[in-house]
C-alpha cells in the first residue's frame, strides 16, 4: 500500500460539500470514484476539512491508500482527466506510514470575499457575498485584530453545536481591499469596475463549525456601523451565539491551505481520533 497526500482545488457552488452524502454531489465522492477506477478497488479518502455546501477550496488536502504503482505525476494527470471540471488535483505526494490529512494538520487558512457595491457581476455571484451598503474597512480591520490569540469562540460557533471545548488559537485575522490579494484572484475579474472586493483572511490551529462565517458576519456589522469596533472582546467573553452577528453565506468562503509539520509525528501507527467540527474539523493541539 502507498499513502498519498493529495492537494486539490474545487468550485463548491454545485456540491453539497466535501463529505459524501446521499442527497447530492460531494467532492469526497467524486475523488473516491476517480481513485477507485484507477486502483480497481474502493479507495476511501480523508479530507483535512469538511467544507459545507457552496464553500470553495484553493488548497484542500486529502489522504488515501492505494495499491497501484502508477507514478504520482501520471496519477495526477489520470485523476484530472477523470474528475469533473469543477475539481482539480493540484499536486500529489507519496508520504510515509499512516499520514492522515485531518489528524496530522497543524493549521488552516481561510479566505472570505465580499463584493461591496451596488451591482455584483453575474460572473461572481456564486463566489462572493454581495454587500451593497457602505462598509468601513478600517473599523473591520481593527475589530478583526481582537480575534488573534487564544480565545473561547463559543459565541461564534454554529447554533446547536456539541463540542467538548470551544477554545481556539487564531494566528492571523486581516482585511484588505484587493480583489487579487495573495493570489486569491476573482473568478469574475470585471466585478471591480462597479464596486470593490474586500478580502478577509484568517488562519488558526482549529476552527469551530461556521466560526469563520460568523466572524465575517459580525465584522460586516462593525463595518456598517451597527457594532463598535472594540466590542469583539465583550462578545468573546459572553460565549453567547445569540449576541454575535449573522452567519455569512457559504459561497464567499475558501479553504486556502492546510499546513502540516509531520517531523515529530509518529506515522508508524494510526493517529488518535479527535472530535469533528467546523466547516472542517478540529485540529490536534
187-220 confidence digits (pLDDT tens)? 445 445 578 999 999 999 999 999 999 999 999 9
Whole-angstrom Cα distance, residue 125 to residue 248?
Answer: 14
Q: Which residue, of 103, 123, 151, is where some domain finishes?
A: 103
Same domain, 9 and 96: yes
Same domain, 148 and 247: yes
Q: What local confidence, expressed as pLDDT, does residue 123 receive?
A: 87
Whole-angstrom Cα distance, residue 149 to residue 172?
Answer: 9
Whole-angstrom Cα distance, residue 200 to residue 219?
Answer: 10
Same domain, 90 and 20: yes
Find, among 221, 223, 211, 220, the residue nearest to 250 by Cα: 211
pTM score, whole prediction:
0.89
Same domain, 252 and 126: yes
Whole-angstrom Cα distance, residue 161 to residue 95?
Answer: 34
Same domain, 58 and 175: no
Whole-angstrom Cα distance, residue 31 to residue 18?
Answer: 10
Contact between residue 177 and residue 93 where contact means Cβ atoms under 8 Å apart: no
Same domain, 140 and 209: yes
Q: Is 86 exposed, middle or buried (0-12, 13-18, 19+ CB in 10 A)?
A: middle
SS3 at position 25: coil
Same domain, 197 and 228: yes
Same domain, 161 and 64: no
- Domain of residue 219: give its range: 105-256
Same domain, 110 and 251: yes
Whole-angstrom Cα distance, residue 9 to residue 55?
Answer: 11
Same domain, 22 and 63: yes
CATH code of the domain containing 28: 3.30.70.580
Q: What local confidence, expressed as pLDDT, does residue 284 receive?
A: 34
Overall domain count for the chain: 2
**E-state strands within the chain:** 2-10, 45-47, 56-66, 87-95, 105-116, 129-131, 149-152, 167-177, 196-204, 253-260
Same domain, 49 and 109: no
Q: Is 153 exposed, middle or buried (0-12, 13-18, 19+ CB in 10 A)?
A: buried
The whole-number mean pLDDT for each consecutive block of 10 residues of the chain, a chain of 285 residues, reads: 96 96 94 97 95 96 96 97 98 92 95 94 92 97 98 92 89 83 46 78 95 98 98 97 97 97 67 49 37
Q: What local confidence, expressed as pLDDT, does residue 280 receive?
A: 43
Q: What local confidence, expressed as pLDDT, does residue 273 receive?
A: 56
Same domain, 227 and 156: yes
Q: What local confidence, expressed as pLDDT, does residue 27 receive?
A: 98
Q: Which residue, of 103, 125, 149, is where some domain finishes?
A: 103
Q: What local confidence, expressed as pLDDT, does residue 265 receive?
A: 62
Give the rounded distance of the alpha carbon of 251 from its chain centre.
11
Q: What local confidence, expressed as pLDDT, does residue 272 receive?
A: 56
Which residues participate in catalysis according to the annotation? 52
CATH code of the domain containing 238: 3.30.70.660
Q: What local confidence, expressed as pLDDT, does residue 276 receive?
A: 45
Amino acid at each position: 500500500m502507498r499513502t498519498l497526500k493529495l492537494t486539490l482545488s474545487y468550485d463548491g457552488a454545485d456540491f453539497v460539500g466535501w463529505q459524501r452524502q446521499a442527497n447530492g454531489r460531494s467532492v469526497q465522492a467524486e475523488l473516491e470514484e476517480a481513485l477507485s477506477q484507477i486502483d480497481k478497488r474502493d479507495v476511501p479518502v480523508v479530507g483535512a476539512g469538511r467544507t459545507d455546501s457552496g464553500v470553495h477550496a484553493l488548497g484542500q488536502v486529502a489522504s488515501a491508500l492505494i495499491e497501484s504503482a502508477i507514478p504520482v505525476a501520471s496519477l495526477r494527470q489520470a485523476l484530472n482527466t477523470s474528475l469533473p471540471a469543477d475539481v482539480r488535483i493540484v499536486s500529489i505526494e507519496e508520504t510515509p506510514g499512516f499520514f492522515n490529512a485531518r489528524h496530522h494538520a497543524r493549521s488552516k487558512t481561510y479566505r472570505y470575499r465580499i463584493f461591496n457595491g451596488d451591482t455584483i457581476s453575474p460572473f461572481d455571484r456564486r463566489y462572493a457575498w454581495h454587500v451593497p451598503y457602505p462598509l468601513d474597512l478600517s473599523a473591520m480591520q481593527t475589530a478583526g485584530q481582537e480575534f488573534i490569540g487564544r480565545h473561547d469562540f463559543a459565541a461564534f460557533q454554529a447554533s446547536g453545536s456539541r463540542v467538548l471545548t470551544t477554545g481556539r488559537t487564531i494566528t492571523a485575522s486581516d482585511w484588505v481591499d484587493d480583489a487579487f490579494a495573495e493570489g486569491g484572484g476573482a473568478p469574475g475579474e470585471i466585478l471591480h469596475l462597479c464596486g470593490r472586493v474586500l478580502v478577509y483572511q484568517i488562519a488558526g490551529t482549529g476552527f469551530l463549525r461556521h466560526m469563520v462565517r460568523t466572524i465575517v458576519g459580525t465584522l460586516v456589522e462593525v463595518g456598517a456601523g451597527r457594532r463598535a469596533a472594540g466590542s469583539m472582546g465583550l462578545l468573546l467573553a459572553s460565549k453567547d451565539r445569540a449576541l454575535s452577528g449573522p452567519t455569512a453565506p457559504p459561497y464567499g468562503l475558501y479553504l486556502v491551505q492546510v499546513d502540516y509539520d509531520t517531523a515529530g509525528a509518529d506515522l508508524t501507527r494510526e493517529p488518535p481520533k479527535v472530535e469533528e467540527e467546523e466547516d472542517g474539523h478540529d485540529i490536534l493541539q
